[in-house]
Amino acid sequence: MAQSAASRDVDPLSVRALARGLSVLSLFDVDHREWTVDEIAEQTGLVRMTAYRMVRTLESMAFLVRDPATNRYRLGPATLALCYVADDQSQFIKAARPFLEALVEETGESVTLAVEVDGYPVCLDIINTTRPFKRRTAPGRILGDVSTVHGKIFAAFKPPEEREAILARAIPQLTPHTVTDSEAIAAELEQVARDEVAYDIEGRYAGLCAVGAPVRDQFGTIVATISVVVPTGRFGPAESARCTEAVKAAAASFSAYLGWTPRGGAY
């Protein structure tokens, strides 16, 4: 079950009803285009009547549309305006694709490309392999906080004051392996900054591990992150080392394509 909107509502100035409504909208992505009210209630953790009221409100404002034949809801025309004002990343995705595809071929595992949007890592593209395992994200989805490799990388290279602000946020205990202690997270971010590689060992989702590396533009600014996502059972020491080298090489190659030249022999 997804974390409920109420449990995320830690800011005393936030509006709980709005947070609940947005938690409903956040369920829709390219892999989950339609939901019933019961499914929405289960995924958001909302009481069914509350979920129903939220859905009806969003429907009245054309953010959701109901299929009368199936009673399933999909995104409505009001969401189109949000798409038009968002940055178009299609050219960046097109440029990254060959590097992602090569990484999939080399590792035999799925890969994710992410960018940072207003302080949040957002999934820009994914390539899945035919090997059986269930992904927990889709393009356009926020990938979470410093429990993910993408969040760790973006946080690790921020100025000290911005990193401190991130460390001051409460980290939810999503799995038994989620690191929530700010000092431990700070130490890990320091290591990420030194090694230019980040790991997630079931910190975000039970049963899934990942290793990621930063992508830089011609000025050295981190503009994206690439990760290899692997089921825990296939992420032993040898596989971890192989995926680490592969993702670092892919990120370095894409960075070189974007014009980045490492200085001092260090990427």
Residue 60: both structure tokens together: 């009245």
d(CA 45, CA 23): 10
Which pLDDT does position 228 carry in this prediction? 96
Considering the entire predicted model, what is its pTM?
Answer: 0.70
Task: Count CB neighbours of 161 within 10 A.
Answer: 7
Q: Which tens digits make up the pLDDT trace of 137-187? A: 778 777 878 889 999 999 999 999 999 988 888 888 889 999 999 999 999
For residue 202, what are the contacts with CB-CB under 8 A and spacing of at least 6? 175, 176, 177, 208, 209, 232
d(CA 153, CA 29): 24
- Mean per-residue pLDDT, 113-136: 83
Q: Flag the least confident range among 2-6, 34-38, 65-69, 75-79.
A: 2-6
The distance of Cα 186 from the centroid of its chain, to the nearest Å, equals: 20
Q: Which tens digits make up the pLDDT trace of 121-131? A: 888 899 998 88
Q: What domains appear along the chain, each with residue ranges and CATH number?
A: 5-85 (1.10.10.10), 90-257 (3.30.450.40)
Cβ neighbourhood burial of 15 (10 Å; 0-12, 13-18, 19+): exposed
